[in-house]
């Protein structure tokens, strides 16, 4: 049993620490630390990394937010979220919780308050001295995109953006993480890039999409380019259409301020879904590195024509969720959510049909759907192949038969399945659909690492460990 546990942890570590490098000592500063993203994702992820992997002792978390809290109040709030959102098997015992809590500190300030950022600088200096964090700092902006510019400006004004000379042989590192959506359109993304460039060097900037950390998303490239049997069929000659579904069973929760500005299109389509679309449709890169993969993804985005007013009318559907029941629990309507305008026209559901105008995908429709407060949480890509050119079997023998389908399940049950026809046992020649199924959990014996674990580990590791992190903010660029 001990050997099995050791093997499981070794596999987890191998999948998270790229190139075998554990992360270096640092202070992680979370802006917007009392928000939904921090409570549901970042804190549980950091707690799990701390508990299950060899993080250094010199590791601290600084929460930066507007709400007036003491260190102890923040620690209590953070542990409550960690206990609520960590899976049962990953819960921290009381000793680990106490140890983790003592590494957390709170800094209260508005994002435009110069004194607040000076207070942050003083606290980080203190942690360098007392916790030996070596001057290494990772800033994570878990905030609405509208606040990014002010935070970046204040970090620069407070002198918090530049590395320091720790000793004669060592310089600290400083990195900033901005999670997509990056801006709200092409103009704002370009403006934000200019503001970042005034304060940070390009190699300090990590523009991330957490979907890129999901095992099945990463496996799309392996599935396509490490196997010889699928890529020859991966084109308009054999594929009838492609569906990408991102369905969420939750409403907007406490994110009304952000969601009213973004809606489903900016929140999901232009970042997560576009990333998955690009990996599904791109040509083989010249190498498996960030620049080469990004080059091919950009080619896909540039091959998607802009929608005309007629296209918007005929090939898109927008909607909002209303009050109902989901999984036995009551769900209020979007306009009844706290912080949502009673006359809001922000979409919480969108469906659209688009095309990629290149040789591989000419005339193949792509159907994209995403929404909140839907009956089931599910993210998947479905490749539907064309029917055989001539059916040898009689209609009575193929009743109910569907075309071949490959489904790539991204969440919650990560894996893939291939639907194809097979003969039913017996004297008759009747056919039926059967599935060939691959599940990550069944195949490897462990749950796949959380997407945020992989991405946070990449950001804290050495600069070369960032194949899955975007650096150029091109998601809006669709000329």
Return phi, psi of residue 388, to 5°.
Answer: -60, 145
Question: Residue 313: CB partners within 8 Å, gap ≥ 6?
Answer: none
pLDDT given at position 283? 94
Question: Residue 5: CB partners within 8 Å, gap ≥ 6?
Answer: none
3-class state of residue 469 by DSSP = coil
Q: Which residues pair with 177 in a beta bridge?
A: 140, 206
The residues of the chain that CATH labels 3.40.50.720 are: 2-212
Higher pLDDT among residues 241 and 196, named by residue: 241
pLDDT score of 9 more than 70:
no
Catalytic residue among 48, 51, 210, 272: 272
Average pLDDT over residues 12-27: 57
CATH code for 215-447? Answer: 3.30.360.10
Q: Are 475 and 180 contacting, i.e. CB atoms less than 8 angstroms apart?
A: yes
Decide if 153 is catalytic.
no
Please tell me the distance from the alpha carbon of residue 319 to that of residue 116, in angstroms, as a whole number: 41
Band (217; pLDDT cuts 50, 70, 90): confident
Percentage with pLDDT > 90 across the chain: 39
The residues of the chain that CATH labels 3.30.360.10 are: 215-447
Say which CATH class 2-212 falls into: alpha beta
pLDDT given at position 259? 87
pLDDT score of 372 more than 90:
yes
């Amino acid at each position: 049993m001990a050997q099995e546990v050791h093997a499981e942890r070794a596999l987890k570590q191998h999948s998270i620490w790229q190139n075998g490098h554990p992360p270096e000592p640092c202070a992680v500063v979370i802006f917007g630390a009392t928000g939904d993203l921090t409570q549901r994702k970042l804190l549980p992820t950091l707690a799990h990394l701390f508990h299950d992997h060899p993080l250094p002792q010199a590791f601290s978390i600084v929460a930066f937010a507007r709400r007036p809290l003491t260190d102890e109040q923040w620690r209590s709030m953070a542990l409550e979220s960690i206990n609520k959102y960590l899976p049962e098997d990953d819960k921290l015992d009381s000793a680990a919780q106490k140890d983790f809590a003592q590494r957390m500190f709170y800094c209260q300030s508005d994002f435009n308050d110069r004194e607040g950022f000076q207070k942050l600088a003083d606290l980080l200096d203190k942690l360098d001295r007392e916790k030996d964090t070596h001057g290494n700092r990772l800033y994570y902006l878990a905030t609405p995109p509208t606040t990014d510019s002010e935070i970046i400006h204040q970090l620069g004004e407070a002198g918090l953006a530049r590395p320091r000379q720790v000793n004669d042989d060592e310089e600290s590192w400083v990195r900033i993480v901005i999670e997509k959506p990056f801006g709200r359109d092409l103009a704002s993304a370009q403006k934000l890039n200019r503001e970042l460039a005034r304060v940070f060097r390009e190699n300090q900037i990590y523009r991330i999409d957490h979907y890129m950390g999901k095992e099945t998303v990463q496996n799309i490239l392996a599935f396509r380019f490490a196997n010889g049997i699928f890529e020859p069929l991966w084109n308009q000659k054999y594929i009838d259409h492609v569906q990408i579904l991102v369905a969420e069973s939750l409403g907007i929760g406490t994110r009304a301020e952000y969601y009213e500005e973004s809606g489903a299109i900016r929140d999901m389509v232009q970042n997560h879904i576009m990333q998955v679309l690009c990996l599904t449709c791109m040509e083989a890169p010249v190498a498996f590195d960030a620049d080469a993969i990004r080059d091919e993804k950009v080619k896909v985005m540039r091959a998607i024509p802009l929608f005309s007013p007629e296209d918007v009318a005929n090939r898109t559907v927008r909607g909002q969720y209303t009050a109902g029941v989901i999984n036995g629990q009551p769900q209020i309507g979007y306009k009844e959510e706290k912080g949502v305008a009673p006359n809001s026209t922000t979409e919480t559901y969108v469906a659209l049909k688009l095309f990629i105008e290149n040789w591989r995908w000419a005339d193949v429709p792509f159907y994209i759907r995403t929404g909140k407060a839907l009956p089931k949480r599910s993210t998947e890509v479905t490749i539907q192949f064309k029917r055989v050119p001539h059916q040898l079997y009689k209609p009575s023998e193929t009743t109910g038969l569907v075309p071949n389908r490959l489904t790539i399940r991204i969440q919650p049950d990560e894996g893939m399945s291939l639907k194809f026809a097979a003969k039913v046992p017996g004297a008759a020649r009747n056919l039926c659909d059967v599935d060939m199924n691959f599940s990550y959990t069944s195949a490897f014996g462990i749950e796949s690492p959380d997407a945020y674990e992989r991405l946070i580990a990449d950001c804290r590791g050495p600069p070369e460990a960032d194949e899955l992190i975007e650096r150029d903010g091109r998601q809006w660029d669709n000329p």
